[in-house]
Chain A
Amino acid sequence: AQKVTQAQTEISVVEKEDVTLDCVYETRDTTYYLFWYKQPPSGELVFLIRRNSFDEQNEISGRYSWNFQKSTSSFNFTITASQVVDSAVYFCALSEANYGQNFVFGPGTRLSVLP
């Protein structure tokens, strides 16, 4: 069965600090996709990244970076030099290519960036 765990329920940092959000997943599939979404206070989920199970290269997009490690079944998300606008709930999600029908979302991590 597919499962996503985000052990950090809430994180608070001071502006300009770096912060890492953890995501651990479980799957029996060899082909799967991992996603991160941001949910600001307005409520809409904003897509951030999609990675497939065959691409373990780390990815950087501006202040955002993602570390995918199949050996530990983790897909962690780091925000460098955090800003107040980064305050949101962040969701990690998993989708299996061969077994699952749809996405499985983690419970989310609420990030508060204090000025």
Chain B
Amino acid sequence: DGGITQSPKYLFRKEGQNVTLSCEQNLNHDAMYWYRQDPGQGLRLIYYSQIVNDFQKGDIAEGYSVSREKKESFPLTVTSAQKNPTAFYLCASSIQGARGTDTQYFGPGTRLTVL
């Protein structure tokens, strides 16, 4: 089945630790995205990548880092510099990123909690 997988589903982190959230897609999509969702709020864009080995900051990139070494994979690292990382993280992909208007398809999400 084609789709987007995210792991782990739940993640607990101690303050001061970096953690990496996995996102993999087998849809052969060029573009991938990371969003953050806080309780009762909409989605905010963290980073996006339109093509392998290239990525751009979104609206709330501070304290996060990404890499795009393979078309299928777009991992997100939440660093200790992120002051309030507890949130629900959603990964998405779309066929082409250049236009920004293609439908985005989402993974199941990772819920990160800082203890």
Contact = CB atoms under 8 A, between A and B. Distances in A.
Given A43-B88, A43-B108, A44-B108, A108 B42 contact: yes
Interface stretch (A55-63, A66-74, A75-83, A99-107): A99-107
A107 B99 contact: no
Contacts of A95: 100-101
Interface in B24-63: 33, 41-43, 45, 48, 56, 58
Interface residues of A, number: 23
B107 A44 contact: yes
Interface in A6-39: 32-33, 35, 37
B111 interface: yes
B103 interface: yes
Contacts of A91: 42-43
Nearest to A33: B101
A74 B105 CA distance: 23
A97 B96 CA distance: 13
A96 B92 CA distance: 18
A59 to B, nearest CB: 15
A43 B111 contact: yes
B43 A101 contact: no
A44 B109 contact: yes
Interface in B80-115: 88, 90, 92, 99-101, 103-109, 111
Contacts of B41: 107-108
Given A44-B106, A101-B100, 19 more contacts: A32-B101, A33-B101, A35-B103, A43-B88, A43-B111, A44-B90, A44-B108, A44-B109, A46-B106, A47-B103, A47-B104, A47-B105, A47-B106, A97-B100, A102-B45, A102-B58, A103-B104, A106-B42, A108-B42
Interface of A: 32-33, 35, 37, 42-47, 50, 91, 95-97, 100-103, 105-108
Interface of B: 33, 41-43, 45, 48, 56, 58, 88, 90, 92, 99-101, 103-109, 111
